[in-house]
Structure 1
Amino acid sequence: METTLPSPRGTKRKGDDGLPLPAPRRIKALAQDVVNKIAAGEIIVAPVHALKELIENAVDAGSSALEVVVKDGGLKLLQITDNGHGIDKEDLSILCERFTTSKLKAFEDLSTIGTYGFRGEALASISHIAHLSVTTRTKESSCAWRAHYADGKLVSAKPGQSAEPKPIAGRPGTQITVEDLFYNVPSRRRAFRSASEEYAKILEIVGKYAVHCSGVSFSCKKHGASSTDITVPVAAGIVDRIRQIHGSTVANELVSLKAENERWGFKSEGWISNANYSAKRTTVLLFINHRAVESPTIKKSVEQTYATFLPKGGHPFIYLSLDIEPQRVDVNVHPTKREVHFLNEDEIIAIICDEIRNSLSKVDTSRSFMTQSLLSNNPKVPFATPIKQTTPGTPTAGDPTTERSTSKTATKTTTKKPHENNLVRTDASARKITSMLQARPSADGSGNGNDEMDYEYAEREPTVCRLTSIKDLRADVRSAMHSELTDIISTHTFIGIVDEQKRIAAIQGGVKLFLVDYGMLCNEYFYQVGLTDFANYGAIRFNPPLSLHDLLKVAAEQEKKNAGEAADEIDWDEVVESVEEQLLSRAVLLLEYFSMEITEEGELCSIPLLVKGYTPSLAKLPQFLLRLGPYVDWETEKECFQSFLRELASFYVPESLPLPPSVPQDDSGKGKGKEKVVGEDPEIAARRKKMRHAIEYVVFPACKARLVATKGLLKGVMEVANLKGLYRVFERC
């Protein structure tokens, strides 16, 4: 009996020479219809790409108003109306043919192209995958003309009619209507998940051009909707456009950016968020030669630049308009023109990032920190550990929780030695970091660096405030109270100032170390003082009185410098006169409630004194007065008091001083890497010394005594060390 074993796996078999070989395939030219649809599929990937092309064509046509209407995410209807110069009737017959354009004549023109559209493929591509109609009128024409297109050619609106454009009534400009996009490409149409997702992409691209295209109004809405989702007026500046599209949160935290270099042939300007703004993802509005593009390299470089200024997980907002010499840019590298290539990319990006870094370092804005596992909710961990050896549940005389828990702990008398990681030195007489530094005597020999002031005590009886609005504002503070953070601040030990430019200080609370944004802390403290002592403030008197008009002029000049290109759109003299008139008309109210005296001649005699022993930086006085005009709601009582006290608190916040100048020190290899302080302006040095003394000996003790920490302060406090956690780390070493 014979058995046949199967051949081992992977064994090669000889080909059967008897089988005929397949005939070689011949190369054939694709049908023109297939070619056009392939090209259209590369250029128009989604409704948003069709709209981008149409917006760019409208802006190229000199339009000052664009209206966009969308239905079903642009798949059912996509309509854009502009008031540009229109299209001549004679050009309508070839409008949707491929490679027909008014912007190029020779290939060499690509090297100097300065317009959005140039290849003549946008309308042609749309006509191959949608029903396209165009209504247009030039200034010279007596009527508008409407034409319908399919596959790049004129077609009739109804069977049996002529395909020639029809005269109709219409206003100057062009209206392009795209219906049933991808009706003949069902696989592409089925790829879209939802109309709302496509509409969100459309709003994004409209928002980008609405921010960038100054002098052009934009509106975008769904078909049949009574209200628009995007509305930007024609006269709006860039910051106002950002406010309309992205909200006031980011618009209030913007700083201008400008950078240029003749060697690399570029200029750039824009607006970037400061260190006080942080979002979950980076927003980059990038325009290269006024074309909205994407650049992962620029985005990554900008994020790395911001990494040293923002908390972990925080991301910035960037609007950047980059003008590069056209001969250095290749705009024809991507079918949808989403990307462009340009020479010396690394050098240009490095210059821009350096300018961003400088802008963020100069801005005088208090920095906020997002909390990371901030403030444990575990009641077993005390905020301030007693020095005496007691059980965790037994309070001591110095513990602020003694009165609350005496009855519950009276029976617990046994003592237990605490772990070393629970021992914290909280004695107020303990030596601090500041005591280790050599004290410099001040002019009066006191050594504390605090100017002596002459105080006069008035015999005026305290006013009892019965205003409902003030009572409501005080209640708002109490309802926003964060008990745990209030306990920490009320029992904290001040360690020292970490960064006076970003206004950050370190405090110890129990077994934990915190970094505190003392700019934010002071803002809330002085606001609460303003509420508590309402109508009972002291007064800082000026002798001789100061000219209100001159102070406002100083503030206006400073604002004009900071406003950048938007400054030209504002009549600053009118602003000064308006604010001065507003303050003079409210002089009685200011004197009665805020101890702020302004004479009829426009002289400022006094401003409120909130805390004895602390004088706000008078360098901020002009800006404080100027902001009292637009940022105080003078019409409604509660809003008036609240907004005024917020501005007053902001004025009282310690100023952000630049870091002292220093140079690297290297004495023959010794001390390499260290820095020594070089000559600093004496006035700045005196202000720095006075501010440091006031923060440690006036502000933080005052906060410890009476501040109600609100939930909003959580953004300005970050836990950086926990003795228990550190003890476990060292225990393993």
Structure 2
Amino acid sequence: MEINDSTARGIKRKAEEPFVSPQAPKRIKALDQDVVNKIAAGEIIVAPVHALKELIENAVDAGSTLLEIVVKDGGLKLLQITDNGHGINKDDLPILCERFTTSKLKAFEDLSSIGTYGFRGEALASISHIAHLAITTKTADSSCAWRAHYADGKLAPAKPGQSADPKPTAGRGGTQITVEDLFYNVLSRQKAFRSPSEEYAKILDLVGRYAVHCKGVAFSCKKHGDSAMGISTPSNASTVDCIRQIHGSAVANELINFEVSDDKWGFKASGWTTNANYHVKKTTILLFINHRSVESSAIKKAIEQTYSAFLPKGSHPFIYLSLDIDPARVDVNVHPTKREVNFLNEDEIIESICAEINARLSQVDTSRTFTTQSLLPGAIVPVSSSSTLQSDRSRSTSAKTPQRPPPSTPVKPWEYQLVRTDPQARKITSMLPPSTNNSSTPAAQAATYITSPKTPTTCGLTTVKHLRAQVRDSMHTSLTEIIASHTYVGLIDPTRRIAAIQGGVKLFLVDYGMLSNEYFYQLGLTDFGNFGAIRFSPPLDIRSLITIGVEREKALNKPTDRDVPWSSVPDLVTHQLISRRAMLAEYFNFNISPKGELLTIPLLMKGYTPSLAKLPRFLMRLGPYVNWINEENCFHTFLSELASFYTPEQLPRKEVVEIQDAQGDDAPMGDADVPAAETNGESSSLEARKEEMARVLEHVLFPAFKAKLVATKGLLRGVNEVANLKGLYRVFERC
């Protein structure tokens, strides 16, 4: 006999309460199709980044070479992707968003040889059930584009009362997919997201992965309404160039290439990984299996174990790995989002890949034994052997971790491929007169720096972001790589601002004035709104300084300046600066009192102070040479003048002791607009300035160029190659 549940728990029933008979088991019913579709959509589209992944893969499958992505509120409000692929036929639009409609599969057996990204026909169907979906597409043989809206997997009218049929519209070849209000009907999923910025970061990470992997495809991704791109890579960029643009030069400069294949296990692997000179706290792995971005904890653990023999404890590498496996050995249908795949002989394939990476790292480690040659009289040739100069990391961990024996001894490189890296080697400055030979030891810091309690601010101005994008767009890749990996040789001619640097096996003469001007301009954009301050005590009278600048400008005696009312310039410029002192103080830490006293000027770099002899002309030029009307032009011209002020001046020759006012800081080598004024005495101050300049160049400016400068195409005219070791060997071989 069945007992009432309340009686079983010992709860008494009141007399007036009716007796409830036991309920029969509930019958099993089929779910409503709309519920089924939403459940399936929730399995495939977990977050905006998953929707974008499906759309990117479909676009690449369509033969696209250009993908433009626009995101709003982390993809929850808007997710738009535009490609230039072959488009979608108008006749296919009615069933485009129905489940399991695809052009890539016909039978289940086709899964064993699938070679495309998408194949199940679930992505667009899933999106249409949880978002407002619109598609504009045009094929090559179509006279116009067609636009269709979808809801719950079917065509839907754009507005109530209109027809649901696709509408003709203007459009370019390819497809544009617009996803709005993602998860609008699944509120529990909407509430699960922390912040739009976090979802946007995930989207940038995904786009960056495919930008590195998809050769010949240009990617761009930005927030809706922003002119600056979060990611932008050209279609002709190499894999290393894409890694440099997305992950930085610190990674790209330390990459080594590897390739391994085995017909027995049916795989081929290739990629780029960092050497033992680079390490971070978290492993970054870009893994693609059969060109699909996936995750594999087994591969990640094996690679980290391989690097444990080369990196310090707690350090991890960066690796990009593209793994091609025979499709018959791979099951790509094991995860709803295709994030994970299973393949045969996983352990053997991973072991082969790690063995190749270990071998490549061992070769790089062996090549770090330095070969030197006695080229100068009295030079000491250090005795080096691979047994004494091998990395301490390899020697200390070889006993702990069993390693696969390294390959055969690498072939000895030709002499013209060797790069002198011995820190004890003599520099070119040692051959110059003693007065300029004091730059090897950094001078004591003369300035006193006080830390400000001001909290750094994030610049969100569209105009500044646009100026930064202009710098990135004008980047010269090869010259940037040379600057980022150069070795400073020495100061050659301070009168023409020429220094020598070594890049690989080449020697270059560079105009450090042009490099400095571009660097300080870029530094101004990077630190916009967060400048330090050089404080004057007591304050300086701006009008008096501008008057001095006017006198120097008049001394140039340019024909175009003969009609300039010089007498009124000091008052006009002073009034101009005082009227805009609030803006100057907020953005540039350029503080002026209401009485016209100069309190502070921007500090761009610690350890380097610009020549204050240039201050009068700098203040004078802030009037006529800065566009105070347009915001973007204002920031550009002001930062250009500030960079010109910070650029090291051209020093006069020995017989000249007065430092000339620098002109044309972005001019080619040797150009100067201001003639040096000859005087009669005190050459010691000039020699001291030359020694200080040599110290600053070696220990402050060129290390800063190496770390941060993005070399633009305009700097090419300030860099001249004067020697190439490989070319010299070819010349002397004929003798």
The alpha-carbon deviation at position 14 of structure 1 amounts to 13
1:278 alignment partner AA? H
Q: Distance in 1 between matches of 2:200 and 2:364?
A: 37
**Which residues in structure 2 correspond to 1:45-60 (within 5 Å)?**
45-60=46-61
The alpha-carbon deviation at position 20 of structure 1 amounts to 3.6
2:63 alignment partner AA? G
Q: What is the aligned partner in structure 2 of residue 363 from structure 1?
A: 364
Match of 2:133, SS state, is: strand
Q: What is the aligned partner in structure 1 of residue 391 from structure 2?
A: 502
Q: What is the aligned partner in structure 1 of residue 505 from structure 2?
A: 625
Query: 1:469-509 CA deviation, whole Å, 9 max, x = no partner?
Result: xxxxxxxxxxxxxxxxxxxxxxxxx9x99851338899xxx
C-alpha contact 1:293 1:339 (8 A) present in aligned 2: yes
C-alpha contact 2:81 2:177 (8 A) present in aligned 1: yes
The alpha-carbon deviation at position 313 of structure 1 amounts to 1.3
C-alpha contact 1:498 1:504 (8 A) present in aligned 2: no
Q: Distance in 1 between matches of 2:427 and 2:290?
A: 52
Q: What is the aligned partner in structure 2 of residue 663 from structure 1?
A: none
Query: 1:326-369 CA deviation, whole Å, 9 max, x = no partner?
Result: 0000000000000000000000000000001001111158989x
Change (3 A) 1:710 1:354: farther
C-alpha contact 1:275 1:365 (8 A) present in aligned 2: no
C-alpha contact 1:367 1:503 (8 A) present in aligned 2: no
1:330 alignment partner AA? D
The alpha-carbon deviation at position 86 of structure 1 amounts to 0.1
Q: Distance in 1 between matches of 2:240 and 2:73?
A: 31
Match of 1:66, SS state, is: strand
C-alpha contact 1:48 1:198 (8 A) present in aligned 2: yes
Match of 2:201, SS state, is: helix
The alpha-carbon deviation at position 452 of structure 1 amounts to 8.5
Q: Distance in 2 between matches of 1:107 and 1:239?
A: 39
Q: What is the aligned partner in structure 2 of residue 242 from structure 1?
A: 243
Q: Distance in 2 between matches of 1:498 and 1:637?
A: 45
Q: What is the aligned partner in structure 2 of residue 160 from structure 1?
A: 161
Q: Distance in 2 between matches of 1:131 and 1:295?
A: 33
Q: What is the aligned partner in structure 2 of residue 210 from structure 1?
A: 211
Q: What is the aligned partner in structure 2 of residue 33 from structure 1?
A: 34
Q: What is the aligned partner in structure 1 of residue 198 from structure 2?
A: 197
Report the number of matched residues: 431
C-alpha contact 1:98 1:124 (8 A) present in aligned 2: yes
Q: Distance in 2 between matches of 1:451 and 1:285?
A: 41
Q: What is the aligned partner in structure 2 of residue 404 from structure 1?
A: none
C-alpha contact 1:127 1:149 (8 A) present in aligned 2: yes
Q: Distance in 2 between matches of 1:528 and 1:195?
A: 55
Match of 2:67, SS state, is: strand
Change (3 A) 1:504 1:288: closer
Q: Distance in 1 between matches of 2:515 and 2:87?
A: 53
Q: What is the aligned partner in structure 2 of residue 675 from structure 1?
A: none
Change (3 A) 1:503 1:136: same
1:210 alignment partner AA? A
- Residue segments in structure 2 that go unaligned for 5+ positions in a row: 1-7, 14-18, 396-419, 438-477, 483-490, 520-697, 704-735
Q: What is the aligned partner in structure 2 of residue 280 from structure 1?
A: 281
Q: Distance in 1 between matches of 2:343 and 2:148?
A: 39
Q: Distance in 2 between matches of 1:40 and 1:533?
A: 74
Q: Distance in 2 between matches of 1:531 and 1:246?
A: 36
Q: What is the aligned partner in structure 1 of residue 150 from structure 2?
A: 149
Q: Distance in 2 between matches of 1:634 and 1:710?
A: 17
2:108 matched to 1:104?
no
Change (3 A) 1:535 1:87: farther
2:342 alignment partner AA? H
C-alpha contact 1:275 1:367 (8 A) present in aligned 2: no
C-alpha contact 2:48 2:182 (8 A) present in aligned 1: yes
1:107 alignment partner AA? F
Query: 1:88-107 CA deviation, whole Å, 9 max, x = no partner?
Result: 00000000000000000111
Q: What is the aligned partner in structure 2 of residue 75 from structure 1?
A: 76
Q: What is the aligned partner in structure 1 of residue 565 from structure 2?
A: none
Match of 1:259, SS state, is: strand
2:265 matched to 1:264?
yes
2:303 matched to 1:302?
yes
Q: Name the % identity.
A: 64
Query: 1:506-554 CA deviation, whole Å, 9 max, x = no partner?
Result: 9xxxxxxxxxxxxxxx95945995556657899xxxxxxxxxxxxxxxx
2:227 matched to 1:226?
yes
Q: Distance in 1 between matches of 2:375 and 2:429?
A: 25
C-alpha contact 1:276 1:365 (8 A) present in aligned 2: no
Q: Distance in 2 between matches of 1:505 and 1:73?
A: 45
Match of 2:236, SS state, is: coil
2:86 matched to 1:88?
no
Query: 1:225-259 CA deviation, whole Å, 9 max, x = no partner?
Result: 01101000000000001011101100000000101
C-alpha contact 1:156 1:163 (8 A) present in aligned 2: yes
The alpha-carbon deviation at position 625 of structure 1 amounts to 3.2
C-alpha contact 2:309 2:393 (8 A) present in aligned 1: no
Match of 1:339, SS state, is: coil
Q: What is the aligned partner in structure 2 of residue 23 from structure 1?
A: 24
1:347 alignment partner AA? E
Q: Distance in 2 between matches of 1:260 and 1:497?
A: 30
Change (3 A) 1:87 1:525: same
Q: What is the aligned partner in structure 2 of residue 170 from structure 1?
A: 171
The alpha-carbon deviation at position 195 of structure 1 amounts to 0.3
Q: Distance in 2 between matches of 1:250 and 1:450?
A: 28
Q: Distance in 2 between matches of 1:367 and 1:12?
A: 79
Change (3 A) 1:534 1:97: farther
C-alpha contact 1:366 1:503 (8 A) present in aligned 2: no
The alpha-carbon deviation at position 280 of structure 1 amounts to 1.4
1:268 alignment partner AA? A
2:181 alignment partner AA? D
C-alpha contact 1:71 1:222 (8 A) present in aligned 2: yes
Change (3 A) 1:624 1:130: closer
**Which residues in structure 2 correspond to 1:538-553 (within 5 Å)?**
none
Q: Distance in 1 between matches of 2:161 and 2:373?
A: 94
C-alpha contact 1:210 1:217 (8 A) present in aligned 2: yes
Change (3 A) 1:13 1:324: same
2:177 alignment partner AA? I
Match of 2:505, SS state, is: helix
Q: Distance in 1 between matches of 2:79 and 2:264?
A: 44
2:267 matched to 1:255?
no
Q: What is the aligned partner in structure 1 of residue 187 from structure 2?
A: 186
1:235 alignment partner AA? N
C-alpha contact 1:210 1:232 (8 A) present in aligned 2: yes
Q: Distance in 1 between matches of 2:282 and 2:343?
A: 26
